[in-house]
Amino acid sequence: MSNVMIAARGLEKTYTRGEETLRVLDGLDLQMDAGRFNALMGPSGSGKTTLLNLVGGLDHADAGSLEVAGEELAHLDSGSLAHWRAQTVGFVFQGFNLIPVLTALENVELPLQLSPLPRSQRREHALHALELVGLADRARHRPKQLSGGQEQRVAIARAIVTDPKLLLADEPTGDLDRASADAVLDLL
């Protein structure tokens, strides 16, 4: 069985802004194995976020092949891609991306809504994920009532609660102070 988690061949992605065409990915070849912790580094505008979006199935490549966790993403339509994301990927964004009207616990529980788990088990899993990031005592707090570091830890709990095959973090410490950033990196 192949141990490859991400395999990209000739990946291309172009953005058009007004009359300007921006070729962000130009024939990218990439392979990453499962079970590894990989970091993409590069200057701003080099295409890191674009690549993560493609790998995470949030966007489609213009050309090339991209196989993630054994699935060729170019072959999936919008609905199948959403289902694949729910089953395979956990995201941690720079801006936390928590739903403001939900509590920390409800935010973590949100991806489990797409699973067949009964409500009690969903709650149990979400609470366990919050315990793992050290925020069980903040379960009833809304994002606005949490610090930036705590919000990102809730986002990490949400990303891992479904036990995904692939965890994607896009500058997860970008909006945090040094102490919070260290805590989040330790957690990851």
Partner 1 sequence: MGIFGLSLRNLLRHPVRSLLTALSLMVAIFLLCSLRSMVTALTAAATEASTTRLWVQSAVSLYVGMPLSYPTRIEAIDGVKEAFPFQWFGGVYQDPSNFFGQFAVDPEKLLRAYPELVWLEGSPEDFIGTRTGALVGTGLAKTFDWKVGDKIPLSGALFPHPDGVDVAWDFEVVGIYEASKASLDENTFFFHWDYFEKTLEVDRDAPVEVGAIVVSIEPTTSATRVMSEIDALYENGPQRVQTTTESEFQAQFASMFGNVPFFVSVIGGAVLAAIVLACINTMLMAAREQTHDIGIMKSLGFPDTSMFRLLLTQSFLLCGVGGAMGLGLALGSEGGMRELVSSMLPAYRILDETKILAVVLIVVIGLVAGIAPALRSSRLKCIDALSARE
Closer residue to partner 1 (CB): 59 or 175: 59
Closer residue to partner 1 (CB): 63 or 114: 114
Q: Is the C-alpha dihedral spanning 51, 57, 63, 69 positive or negative?
A: positive
Residue window 155-174: x/- pattern of binding to partner 1, with contact defined by CB under 8 A:
---x----------------
User: What would the two tokens of residue 53 be?
Assistant: 């979006």
Give the DSSP H/E element, type plus range, for residue 89.
strand 89-92
Q: Look at strands 89-92 and 166-169 and give their pairing.
A: parallel
Give CA–CA dist 65/140, Å, rounded: 43
From 64, 20, 19, 8, select the one nearest 45 (Cα to Cα): 20
Closer residue to partner 1 (CB): 155 or 176: 155
Closer residue to partner 1 (CB): 98 or 176: 98
From 167, 174, 181, 159, select the one nearest 35 (Cα to Cα): 167
Binding status of residue 118 toward partner 1 by CB under 8 A:
no
DSSP letter, residue 174: T
Binding status of residue 22 toward partner 1 by CB under 8 A:
no
- Minimum CB separation from partner 1 for residue 165, in Å? 13
Residue window 78-117: x/- pattern of binding to partner 1, with contact defined by CB under 8 A:
xx--xxxxxx---x-x---xxxxxx---x--xxx-xx---
DSSP letter, residue 110: G
- Minimum CB separation from partner 1 for residue 59, in Å? 5
List contacts with partner 1 (CB under 8 A).
53, 56, 58-59, 78-79, 82-87, 91, 93, 97-102, 106, 109-111, 113-114, 158
